[in-house]
């Protein structure tokens, strides 16, 4: 990579598109000039920087230069939502997405527990409802999510909103705050597979590790003897949870239908991630094409 102190740079390649130049032209590249102290360029640039020598620089090209610089600075980080029924493998896929794309993983349940633990105003309000056995109102949870998505790391790196919003009212409020996903990932798994995954789950009370009697059995008879089943991991209760999930998510899907991709979640976790990775790669390629068109 060229030194960031160089005052003349051109952006040619994206790491997600190896050996595919964003600019295709027979003419020599013009110089793109930036102040040495420009905040538009940082070490997290998503496009590769190359020093280009040119005999002249045209001020008329500055708008195009700004477009390229903005893209390189990841000025539009990825904004992703993911939804899936209980046992659809959503947690596993969130970890894989976060690892590859370095997004900030935001899960409403985790936020709620963290806010209560920290004793924040939102946490205190939420705890009051939980202490009397009531659901925490949407307005409190939405505010927690909003504040997390507005933090600098989420704004800079992009975010992955996990299993939220769960209702039309939550989706509408987030939309009102300006949070709309570029991609809404929906994990689809047949109900009979979901039921099998849930009913076969077992917890090791000593280590906290989750096993599955069929897909991930315990290593020893000693561990198998002490495994327990969650009270709601029964066929009757999981079907009730699935029914509630499908009712709630239908209205959310209608709101984000222009950004939804449906992913087959019944296959291996590697195959599921390959589908998601392909969709995210395509999204980044489309961005690159738009940049190329803008500066052509």
List residues with catalytic annotation.
90, 166, 201, 230, 241
CA distances to 67, 78, 130, 160, 283 from 94, rounded to whole Å, are 31, 14, 27, 8, 18
Instruction: For the chain, give the number of residues.
Output: 296
d(CA 286, CA 71) in angstroms, rounded, equals 12
Placement of tokens 């039921």 in the chain: 195
d(CA 212, CA 147) in angstroms, rounded, equals 36
């Amino acid at each position: 990579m060229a030194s960031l102190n160089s005052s003349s740079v051109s952006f040619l390649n994206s790491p997600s598109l190896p050996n595919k130049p964003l600019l295709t032209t027979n003419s020599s590249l013009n110089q793109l000039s930036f102040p040495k102290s420009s905040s538009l360029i940082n070490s997290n640039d998503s496009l590769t920087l190359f020093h280009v020598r040119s005999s002249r620089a045209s001020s008329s090209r500055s708008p195009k230069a700004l477009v390229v610089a903005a893209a390189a600075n990841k000025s539009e980080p990825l904004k992703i939502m993911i939804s899936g029924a209980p046992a659809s493998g959503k947690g596993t896929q969130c970890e894989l997405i976060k690892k590859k794309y370095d997004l900030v993983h935001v899960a409403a349940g985790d936020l709620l527990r963290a806010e209560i633990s920290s004793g924040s105003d939102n946490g205190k309000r939420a705890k009051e409802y939980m202490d009397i056995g009531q659901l925490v109102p949407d307005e409190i949870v939405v505010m927690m999510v909003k504040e997390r998505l507005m933090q600098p790391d989420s704004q800079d790196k992009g975010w992955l909103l996990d299993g939220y919003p769960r209702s039309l009212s939550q989706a509408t409020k987030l939309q009102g705050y300006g949070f709309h996903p570029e991609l809404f990932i929906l994990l689809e798994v047949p109900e009979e597979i979901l039921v099998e995954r849930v009913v076969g789950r077992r917890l090791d009370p000593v280590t906290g590790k989750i096993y599955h009697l069929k897909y991930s059995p315990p290593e020893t008879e000693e561990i198998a003897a002490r495994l327990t089943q969650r009270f709601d991991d029964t066929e009757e209760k999981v079907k009730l949870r699935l029914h509630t999930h499908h009712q709630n998510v239908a209205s959310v899907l209608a709101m984000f239908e222009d950004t939804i991709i449906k992913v087959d979640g019944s296959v291996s976790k590697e195959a599921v991630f390959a589908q998601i990775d392909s969709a995210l790669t395509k999204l980044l390629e489309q961005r690159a094409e738009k940049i190329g068109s803008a500066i052509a």
